[in-house]
Structure 1
Amino acid sequence: MGRHSNGKNNYQLSTGAVMALVVALVLTAALIWSIAGRGKDPDSQASGPTSEQTCVSGDLALPIAAANETIGRTLIDAYAASKPVVRDYCVQPVYVDTLADAAVYIAPNTPVTHQELANAGRTAAVAEPEDVAADVVGLATQGAGSEAAPPVDQVRFPIDTPASSAVAASLLTASDNDAVEALTDFRVPSATAVESEAQFIATSEAEAPEGWTFTPLNGAVRYAAIPLNSGDTIDENQSRAGQDFARAAAEQFDADTAPQQPVIAELVWAAALPTGGEALTGDVDSPTGSDEAAVAADGEVLDTLFLLDTSEAMAPYVQAAKQGVAEAAGEVANAGHTVALWNYSSPLSEGVTQGYRRNVGPTPDAAPVQVSVQRFLTGGVPQTREAVAAAVDTVQVPARIVLITTGTADAGDDAAFTEMLRKAREAGVRLAVVHVGEGPQDKALEAAATSRQDAKTADEIAAAIKTAVGTRE
């Protein structure tokens, strides 16, 4: 019996065959999309928890260090929860204690942080690290707390949380020098080292001890994620993963609405660290980084400019200082080097605008210095930084400036002053500071000095000056 035509072709597939073809096409398209997606930028490849990427290269440990362990671990946990994949590695972020072992450093983006990296032999992989966290700074106490900020001498600054201590000191004091002094005089190893329940500790919201009353101040520590270049213990894959961590953390942080960090001088950041000025200068012999009360000169005698404070504060010590300069000048000249002498205070005559006086220019003969120094009288206040800046700009390198001072009355921009002294030191100027008496010391001078002597009494001054010029060990 013949077949009859119904007007339709006879090539259509069955319903089951159609469905099978559709599924095959979908799977093929997904495979092509996946391959194409991987081929676009394999270096920056990363995935979140919904990604279908696989870790064909296995697991990759990503070591991360942080100046604030609490902040660091919080960011690490958030990144780990996203199940990141970089270069076909499943990235496993872990916290480490040392910069030498880290692929990322979470810390305030300050010159001190970058000096820490340099001291550890590490370099940042990006020019401008992005902020990834903000931690509100405040004061904590075991008592009931206080709405008004207490006097700074009732606050203790833990050195194991230096960033919070630096910001709190800056917010609680009137100047950078005062902040440095507070961080030096009232430092404690940790929050639990306070001597009484009446004392406050500088801390942050994340670091405040459990059960203590925390009162915020008007500021925060902003932390950046600084990815580091590969090195002895960090390979290229880990360095790349570190950059992905920094990117992901920055994307999750709202920098515009987060609490702001006040402008903090480099010297204040350094003073908050356990090593103080060592972090600023990178020099383990820096006075503020030394456990010794005095740091001697290096023993090499140089052409020397004596810069003597003749302010009113020097009055009880001036005769001993004159004798010390005269004796040290003779020893420097006998060693075959020139000597020069300036004195300074503040302007004491009408129409005079500068506080320093150039008394004796460089000479191989000590006699002019020995005679001139005996004529000095005292008065005014010590405009020390003005005099030091002028002396640094005048001496012919290599040379040593021996500063005999009771303190500083003209403190200003610590960062600019410190940078000026750093450049002078690199050019060959060695600054030796002899601090006389028990008045406040200029921490910027201490951090930049190649040597420092403390002479609390008149009897100690002559020996301190001789040590400063390098003629006495």
Structure 2
Amino acid sequence: MPGQHRSESKSYGATITTIIVIILVIAAIVWWLFYHKDDSAETTQAEGCENTVVLPVAEQYPGAADMFLRDFSAECVTPELVDSPAQAALYVGMDTPATDALLAEQGRSRIPGQAQTVGSTPVGLSTPQPDTTEVDPQAVFYGPDPAVAHAAALALTQDPAAAQALTSRDAQAPAPEDPAVPLAVTATTNPEGRSFTPLPDAELTFAAIALSPQEGISQEAIDAATAAAYPAAPEQAEQQEAAAQTLFLLDTSERMAPQIDAARAALTAEAQATGQPVALWNYSSPLNPGVTRPWRDNVPFGPAEEITPVLQGFGTDGIPLTRTSVLAALRTAAEQAQATGQPTRVVLFTSGTAPEDLDDAAFGRQLASALENPQVSLEVVQVGDQVDQVLSEQADATRNL
């Protein structure tokens, strides 16, 4: 009997060993199949990307392109961060006229299209040590960057007029020597060694902007940038061929004086970026004897370069009779669209509307009627904080300078 017991034990052990061997063999087969499947896929992808396109990307603020670079996915295209817009096919920054002006300073302009938001960064205060005490808005240095300064000042004051005053106060001021002074910064521009405290509801949002062709940048990179920035680019390109005429209407009232240079730069950059006929009007209020209308039709539709010398000659005076001038510009836009068979937009740079202009009811009716024309559109670029609500609500698009 003892011998029989040993035989059963050996048989049981052999069975266990066999099962383990079978499991190991199955695991090895599964591993081999998955390994070679992945390897095959990688090999196929590599073979299909013999000519990988490098997409050079520049950013307006440090870290602005981080989310875009992290999420970017396009077959055979590799994004690469570069130092300057002059080297880039795609720019990640704020979708504002001020950004267009910044690009123009470096000889670049955007390819027209509906830019997509691709990231954001908090705006807050930089201090030597973490500080949770209430901050006096007057004690903060807001710095020369208008976007950061305005976001921080508005978060601290909750008053658009007060925020604008603080932003203007520090726009040209030197940085304070006292390190204890709180600085308005973004999370990615906070100086090393200082503490960053975000402000409620204060952030900068970034868009991907495709840049126009430049010597030294391949057409493949430009095409990749356009596809990345404007997913519906083929449809948009067809629309732009028939919808690129622009009448620029610039407020030159006394209220515009602090921002007139920035408005000129932004308008110039946008005019050059259209690549299509543009016209230029300015307005304020009648300034000379015998003159009854507040607008001046300075330059008729033509090449963008024709408006530059006229634009540089504008001064500021009078009050902004915006509503009367907008209605006149929309009438001319409708006439231009009818004459050419192409839609025409009015782009208005405005500081707001003087109370001496048309009342809300009359203006609202006339504006709605003018914008019923499918060939005419109105875009408002707001300068400062005195917003015309009727204009803002009925315009096809609004943005801040």
TM-score range, shorter chain: 0.3 to 0.5
Q: What's the TM-score, normalizing by structure 1?
A: 0.40
Q: What's the TM-score, normalizing by structure 2?
A: 0.46
* Higher helix fraction (1 or 2): 2
- Larger Rg computed on CA atoms: 1
